[in-house]
Every structure is written in structure tokens, then in C-alpha cells.
């Protein structure tokens, strides 16, 4: 009886996620982002290479990669220039939610559930978030920002959006032509900004900042 009563939930979530993608696509101006590199095209850093190298070495240590396979992938790793080339080296070694690089720039939909993006992920210049009777968590503390201005188009219906930020990242909320600064700590001029544009009904946006540093006397 309980299974039958809840059998509608996965279908409702699937429909909601599809509608969320269509809604986000409709809100995006035509041609927007055409001149912005895609996440997989961004240049890789030495720190990103080391993340991948650690996963490969762990996979060899527990027998998932032979020594020859490890050497082959390390050769590709240190010759790689883009994040896409790096990400391809670990797709068969870890589940999607444990990958050392997340290049998924699709809209985030939390329909009757919790969704999150975090770790080393590429934040697109514009990101759609739809939360209905659920919670979405976006963690920017180890993220790669695709632009100095990140626009989040958030549709919140009895749902919450929780944003974790590092020092120096400003978050503002724009709703009905009213702009409110959500971060409390000061930022430097020209610092990156996350602009949350909300369409909501009983929705909430929370920002979690790192503890304030104590000033030296």
C-alpha cells in the first residue's frame, strides 16, 4: 500500500525536471553564452592535474588500473590542456557524484528532493535552479567560476536555495526590481558576484559565509 501511494513521486520528479529545463531554456536570451567557453573547454590548472593524478594512483593501488594503464593515463594527464581531457580519465573509475571534476552545466532541479552541486565544479555564467518542495545547495568554495558575474535564475516554490561561498565572493538577490546584498562580509572592488534572480512563492535563499577573520591588533 505504501509503495503504491508513493509510486507517483518519481514520475512527478521526472516531469518537474523536464519542465525546469524547458523553463530555464526559455528564460535564456537567444545567443547568450555563445562566445563563452564551455566547461570542458576551459584550461586545466596544475592543481586540477594533481587531483586527477591522485584518483589514478588510488585506482592502481586497489587494482582497478594496471601499471601500464596508470602510466598511459598519466602520460595523457600531463599532456592535457583542458578540463574536458582531464575529466575523461576518471569517468570509469568513480561514480558521477564522486568525480574529482564536475563539468555538468545543466540546470539544477530539486522537485520533492534535495539536490546539490559542490566540490571542484565549473559554474556556468548563467545557471537555472528550480526548487519545488525541496532544497538546492550550491557550494562555491572550491568551484571554478566561468565568469566574474554569475547569474542564477531561481524558481522557488515552497523550496530553499542554500549557497556556500568563500571569502571575496559577493551574493546579491534581485526580486521584483529590488536588489538586496546577501553576503555580510566586505569584498574588494571588482570581486566576483553571484546574482540570484528569484521568482518564488514561499521560497527562501540562504547564504553561508566563512567565519570572520579576527583582526590583528
Write out pLDDT tens, residues 143-174: 999 999 999 999 999 999 999 999 999 999 99
Q: What is the pLDDT of residue 1?
A: 45
The list of the chain residues with pLDDT below 70 reads 1-35, 213-217
Q: What is the pLDDT of residue 61?
A: 98
3-state secondary structure the chain: CHHHHHCHHHHHHHHHHHHHHHHHHHHCCCCCCCCCCCHHHCECCHHHHHHHHHHHHHHHHCCCCCHHHHHHHHHHHHHCCEHHHHHCCCCCCCCHHHCCCECCCCCEEEECCEEEECCCEEECCEEEEEEECCEEEEECCCCEECCCEEEEEEEEECCEEEEECCCCCEEEEEECCEEEECCCCCCCCCCCEEEEEEEEECCEEEEECCCCCCCCC
> 105-130: per-residue pLDDT in tens?
889 999 999 999 999 999 999 999 99
Amino acid at each position: 500500500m505504501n509503495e503504491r501511494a508513493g509510486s507517483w513521486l518519481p514520475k512527478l520528479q521526472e516531469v518537474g525536471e523536464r519542465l525546469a529545463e524547458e523553463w530555464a531554456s526559455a528564460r535564456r536570451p537567444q545567443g547568450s553564452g555563445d562566445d563563452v567557453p564551455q566547461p570542458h573547454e576551459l584550461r586545466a590548472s596544475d592543481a586540477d592535474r594533481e587531483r586527477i593524478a591522485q584518483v589514478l594512483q588510488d585506482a592502481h593501488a586497489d587494482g582497478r588500473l594496471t601499471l601500464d594503464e596508470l602510466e598511459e593515463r598519466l602520460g595523457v594527464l600531463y599532456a592535457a590542456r583542458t578540463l574536458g581531457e582531464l575529466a575523461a580519465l576518471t569517468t570509469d573509475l568513480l561514480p558521477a557524484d564522486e568525480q574529482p571534476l564536475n563539468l555538468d552545466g545543466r540546470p539544477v532541479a530539486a522537485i520533492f528532493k534535495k539536490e546539490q552541486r559542490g566540490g571542484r565544479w565549473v559554474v556556468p555564467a548563467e545557471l537555472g535552479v528550480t526548487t519545488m518542495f525541496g532544497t538546492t545547495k550550491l557550494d562555491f568554495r572550491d568551484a571554478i567560476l566561468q565568469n566574474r558575474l554569475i547569474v542564477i535564475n531561481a524558481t522557488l516554490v515552497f523550496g530553499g536555495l542554500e549557497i556556500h561561498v568563500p571569502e571575496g565572493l559577493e551574493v546579491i538577490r534581485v526580486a521584483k526590481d529590488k536588489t538586496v546584498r546577501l553576503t555580510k562580509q566586505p569584498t574588494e572592488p571588482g570581486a566576483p558576484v553571484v546574482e540570484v534572480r528569484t521568482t518564488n512563492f514561499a521560497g527562501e535563499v540562504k547564504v553561508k559565509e566563512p567565519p570572520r577573520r579576527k583582526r590583528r591588533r
